[in-house]
Amino acid sequence: MSSRLLASALSTLLAITLPLLSLASQAAEPANQLLQLHKLRLAAQKSLGDFYMFNGMEGDQRYERMINESRAAVSTHLNALTDMPGDGSRALRAQLEQQWQGYQLDLNNLTVALKTNGFTDLQPVADLADSNSQLMALGLELYNKLQQESAYAVSPMTQRSREQSLLMQAIAVDYASRSASVGATFMGGGESRPIEELVNEFASKLSALEKEPKNSAQLRQSWGNVATKWRYIENSLINYNENSVPFLVNKYAETIIQGSEEIASQYAASQL
């Protein structure tokens, strides 16, 4: 091929490729922001469960470390949320940061009080749960606003998997609160629902995700692995008044969420 023909071919290739790369780059930015925000919500939700475990396990230092890790994760994901696409998302991002600062201050004060006195009053813990609920609600509002203002939508299967992670985390938080005897029933996003209802919802949605026709053989197997772990704790969640096993539920919830998040990443990569 002559140098002139080669140059012409390269020019044509660049003319086709560069716009495609530009479009991919534009899509990657809101996709990453939404992923960061989702992970922020998961970590914020988990921080409350970590505190309940710290309370219920009588100040076990491993859960204090988990509280600190969750707090650090929220701050990291929040700092990654830059260059919001519109006025609405900028305002919500500012509200989210303000809410987070107040929540983590209260969380720190309660953690110190528990370490110092060996107990906490119920009202400040209830206030902490309410603050966490507001934080989750703001995060969801920003999640929706980001999609609206960026004209980018999270793919359906990716979203369903993320919602499953959040639901599992909410169940774990609820169970930990009962085990810690703080009298709080918590559902991230501002809802307060019986744990039996949450368990039934999770089981139903998990079954639907396992059977989803869009799944590859590998994805079906991955959901099957999640379901195996779920079945190990499902009865304990339903019969929470009979034999409390918060350590077991907390441990398995973490692996279930990890599995759901890995599947969500696969869906996102395939734009499913």
Which pLDDT belongs to residue 6?
57
Place 186 in a pLDDT band, splitting at 50, 70 and 90.
very low
Residue in the structure block whose two tokens are 């230092």: 61
What is the arithmetic mean of pLDDT over 217-238?
A: 96
Residue 70 located in a structural domain: yes
Residue 48 located in a structural domain: yes
- Give 224's contacts (C-beta < 8 A, 6+ positions apart): 210
What is the arithmetic mean of pLDDT over 208-223?
A: 96
Residue 1 located in a structural domain: no
Residue 252 located in a structural domain: yes
Residue 97 located in a structural domain: yes
Residue 20 located in a structural domain: no
| Exposure string over 192-209, b if 16+ CB within 10 A, otherwise e | eeebeebbeebbeebeeb
Minimal CA–CA distance to 240: which of 168, 165, 169, 181?
A: 181
Which pLDDT belongs to residue 182?
66
Residue 245 located in a structural domain: yes
- Paired tokens of 3: 């140098």
Which pLDDT belongs to residue 8?
60
CA 226 to CA 20: how far, in whole Å? 36
Residue 204 located in a structural domain: yes
Tens digits of per-residue pLDDT, 141-179? 999 999 999 999 999 999 999 999 999 999 999 999 988
Tell me the residue range of the domain where 63 lies: 30-270
Domain count, the chain: 1
**Segment among 22-31, 181-190, 218-227 with least mean pLDDT:** 181-190
Place 200 in a pLDDT band, splitting at 50, 70 and 90.
very high
CA 243 to CA 119: how far, in whole Å? 23
What is the arithmetic mean of pLDDT over 109-138?
A: 93
